[in-house]
Structure 1
Amino acid sequence: MDIYYVNTASSDQPQVLNDILNEYHIDEVPTLVYLNATGQITKFSGDDEKSLNQFIQSKE
């Protein structure tokens, strides 16, 4: 899985991101993910953008 991410805070965010993507079987590539200071996904782009947007909405 190729993940390109922009993290805005701590260095442990990539693992948080990987856990989320693995848990929800989001594995299309390439992927660009933006995380906020607590490691939450704030923006996502890729072939499966719709899937992740639905995931984010379900968590709000």
Structure 2
Amino acid sequence: MLVPSHSGLLSSVDAKSGEIAWQYKISNSMLNPLLPLNGRRVIASTMDGKIVCLAY
């Protein structure tokens, strides 16, 4: 499960255990809704205009 934050941090949380699998700091700005892609990739953008494509 991917969880965006208001502080630019994207976290991957294990749905069963609740443990954080990984985190990626994109910006200091709030993350917009995520766009999942085919496979294990996601597009994330921030309110200050940064856009990233992450593979996990």
TM-score under structure 2 normalisation?
A: 0.33
Structure ranking higher in helix proportion: 1
Between structure 1 and structure 2, the one with the greater Rg is: 2
- Greater relative CO, 1 or 2 (CA 8 Å, sep 6+): 1
Structure ranking higher in strand proportion: 2
